[in-house]
Structure 1
């Protein structure tokens, strides 16, 4: 069952006299597609450039955004399932499908209005943990390809400190494990893990093993 939380839509007036919904904000949109198609997003979903999704630095995963191209007034509703953009001066990255619907493909960027209109609460995660003792850490993902681990690390560093990649060989295969923090108690680790799970990250509290490999 998909549950939506609705945000207030009371209008407010800008200095130019234009009314925009309460909670909405202006920004610059760009788009991404082929290069990332089929790769994991920060939420753990596989990016599909033909679905109506987007990347934002702050909105929780599952947030539904109404995005209006202020140059032509065309609009699209897309779901935040990734983090970004990572280029200065840009505020939201639209999937190819989302960008195409508001004629953003050609120009590449445009000023847009972003209005949160609800959230799909199935994106909220539960905190998982393995039998633990001693120093703990929070694992957010494990990948066979270093590029995927680096993208998740970059996304997490928008909001969290002490994000690192740990390299481990399991049954002959090399995994790049993206982890956050080093905690002396379970409660300390759980408090952060719970916040991350509410945001929509898949988190696992586990033992901190050895040093931290930086990539």
Structure 2
């Protein structure tokens, strides 16, 4: 018990926070995931990433469904699914046979079909002229995360190993339930707060605690939360 208490004190100090405005929508934390018996490990950043292979596309069957990023899939937006690139990464997709190019944002995981490297939205596929054939050989070049500056548009590689991390303990459709959990958590943990998330069809209230400045400390804090009775808590990057 003394050891656990000491560990708890360390994490409260290491991940202490000062009052601030509600955090922005998280990009997520690249944990390994499993699909059809295969494990996939998202990469920590998109800097220097290129890849050649087969692109496919997905449309009406998935239109309106939730993507891996939490967004609702819009087949008419310029988005894509990739197995390992950080969610939120903008990529250039160049068709190899005619050099046509598009820029899309990765907001989903897939395609989980052997030999295919990216699933484009319907509009992305239409821009590349591959809706009819269904597939095309392409080259992907990661651009990073899009930022607007005074000089125009720029792209910055996403790095998940440094920055601000917090921990999601629960999510509720009822705000009162979220506030009750927040009040309970703030008796033990720092920075207990509620973040509304509009999924499109309904609003969820995400309950989060803690704040760390590096991924190594965040991994330890996540394990501390599990030992403290919150095994489903997970890291999110702000």
Alpha carbons of structure 1 residues 7 and 57: separation in structure 2 relative to 1, 3 Å: closer
Name structure 2 gaps, 5 residues minimum.
1-23, 26-44, 148-157, 170-180, 189-198, 200-221
Which structure 1 residue ranges, 4+ long, deviate > 3 Å from structure 2? 123-126, 130-133, 187-190
Deviation of 1:34 (Å): 0.5
- Distance in 1 (alpha carbons) for counterparts of 2:79 and 2:106: 6
Over residues 34-79 of structure 1, what are the superposed CA-to-partner deviations in whole Å (9 max), with x where a residue is unaligned?
0000111111100000000000011111100000011111111000
TM-score by structure 2 length?
A: 0.47
RMSD (Å), alpha carbons: 3.6
- Provide the C-alpha distance between the structure 2 equivalents of 1:101 and 1:55, rounded to a whole number of angstroms: 16
Q: Deviations over 1:135-189 (max 9, x none)?
A: xxxxxxxx9xxxxxxxxxxxxxxxxxxxxxxxxxxxxxxxxxxxxxxx9741677
Match of 1:128 in 2: 168
- Give me the whole-angstrom Cα distance separating, in 1, the residues matched to 2:103 and 2:88: 12
> Post-superposition shift, 1:107?
1.3
Alignment of 1:67 onto 2:93: yes
TM-score (norm 1): 0.52
1:1-215 alignment runs, 5 A limit: 22-120=48-146, 126-129=166-169, 130=181, 131=184, 185-186=224-225, 193-194=234-235, 197-198=236-237
- Shift of residue 193, structure 1, vs aligned partner: 2.1
Q: Is the 8 A contact 2:46 2:86 kept in 1?
A: no
The structure having more radius of gyration, on CA atoms, is 2
